[in-house]
Structure 1
């Protein structure tokens, strides 16, 4: 078993790797969680969009994306393949993304059940609960440092 953690601007990604990242996101959010929504929202092709992913024997096992929102940053689309959960892949990617932000404020919208997990990386609730695609979410922010 060979595990790697990688990151790249979306524009620099091999098309097959990008396909596998997007397929994992659809598998988790649309199929597994039953949320019919526009997963391909146009933000992945922004010039500064970065993809982070973990592979396990060449299969994409976890992913997240990092976007620029003005001076702040936004982490989203954090997903781990069902068979890879509990192995720490998303945590490694989250820490790498936080480090990449260089002390800037970072925002994300967390599924309510994951508030504590994001809290491990310095995120705190920054607004009221809201329902998106049938799931309760909370806005969270990691303050600039």
Structure 2
């Protein structure tokens, strides 16, 4: 596994890169999690897009927001790893990269996320703490978490 990381604004994404990102997000968030929801939410236009590729194929992704573009603090969202790469702990590498790019691109260390509840321990391992009660987002239990 030799992951190459790219960070791009929406306008800089090629049609193929955008297609691959949307395909991965749909594969996991809609099909695998059996959740019909509006993935194309207008926020992609404001985000920085962190793409992890292995041999030219998109296998990991997250979108990053500067403060006030999603939450008051900087934010990381749509964190997703292709199922066949999860046992390789790529999710942890993706989060480290996302946190690094929030700091380097936005000069921010305070980060807020809306996390699926079942991933609480995963995000805690990256320094996030729960800051809300459980709520439903697209019929999936979520919690707000913050890293200072």
The TM-score with structure 1 as length reference comes to 0.89
Q: List per-residue Cα deviations over 1:13-42 (Å, max 9, x = no partner).
A: 111011101110011001110111110000
Which stretches in structure 1 are left out of the alignment for 5+ residues?
none
Q: Displacement of 1:5 after TM fit?
A: 2.0
Q: List per-residue Cα deviations over 1:59-80 (Å, max 9, x = no partner).
A: 1111111012326211110111
User: In structure 1, what is the Cα distance between the partners aligned to 2:64 and 2:94?
Assistant: 10
Aligned to 1:7: 7
SS for the counterpart of 2:97 is helix
Matched, 1:137 2:142: yes
Aligned to 1:62: 60
Which stretches in structure 2 are left out of the alignment for 5+ residues?
none
Q: List per-residue Cα deviations over 1:44-72 (Å, max 9, x = no partner).
A: 012xx111121121111111110123262
RMSD: 1.5
The TM-score with structure 2 as length reference comes to 0.88
Q: Displacement of 1:101 after TM fit?
A: 2.4
SS for the counterpart of 1:131 is strand
Q: Displacement of 1:117 after TM fit?
A: 0.6
**Contact in 2 for aligned 1:63/1:90 (Cα 8 Å):** no
How many residues were matched structurally? Answer: 141
Matched, 1:73 2:78: no
Aligned to 2:96: 95
Q: Displacement of 1:89 after TM fit?
A: 2.2
Q: Say which is worse superposed, 100-109 or 17-26, in terms of deviation.
A: 100-109
